[in-house]
């Protein structure tokens, strides 16, 4: 795996590491990564499901509206229904 043992990384580190390991420029890597996220965004906006084998699947989940409370003021507020992307990860087995 490319990032094995990498620990915690900020946003740019995986891109830099991948570009270096693949022998491509940061711009090429950034373009590829952005393209993948654009396709994922378009797919989820149509409420389709995305499966990445060995990683997990994404789907859009509908949440009903409800009456909540503003934690700062205690005022009761209506929270509108919403749709959010959800990741269901696969179990990853490691041998060690």
Q: Are 81 and 64 in contact (CB under 8 A)?
A: yes
Lowest-confidence range among 13-17, 23-27, 59-63, 73-77? 13-17
Q: How many domains does the structure of the chain reveal? A: 2
Question: Does 2 map to a domain?
Answer: no
Tokens of 10: 């900020």
Please tell me whether residues 32 and 53 are part of one structural domain: no
Please tell me whether residues 59 and 80 are part of one structural domain: yes
Please tell me whether residues 57 and 90 are part of one structural domain: yes
Mean per-residue pLDDT for 48-54? 92
Please tell me whether residues 35 and 53 are part of one structural domain: no
Q: For residue 74, what pLDDT is reported? A: 95
Q: Which three-class secondary structure string do you get for 63-94? A: ECCEEEECCCCCCEEEECCEEEEEEEECCCCC
pTM of the model: 0.64
Please tell me whether residues 69 and 90 are part of one structural domain: yes
Question: Does 5 map to a domain?
Answer: no
Mean per-residue pLDDT for 62-77? 96
Burial class (CB in 10 A: 0-12, 13-18, 19+), 89: exposed
For residue 16, give its domain range: 10-46
Closest C-alpha to 29, from 40, 8, 14: 14
């Amino acid at each position: 795996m490319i990032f094995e043992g990498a620990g915690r990384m900020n946003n740019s580190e995986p891109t830099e590491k991948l570009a270096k390991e693949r022998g491509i420029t940061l711009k090429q890597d950034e373009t590829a990564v952005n393209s993948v996220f654009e396709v994922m965004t378009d797919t989820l906006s149509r409420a389709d499901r995305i499966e990445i084998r060995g990683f997990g699947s994404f789907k859009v989940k509908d949440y009903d509206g409800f009456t909540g409370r503003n934690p700062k003021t205690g005022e009761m507020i209506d929270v509108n229904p919403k749709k959010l992307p959800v990741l269901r990860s696969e179990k990853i087995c490691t041998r060690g």
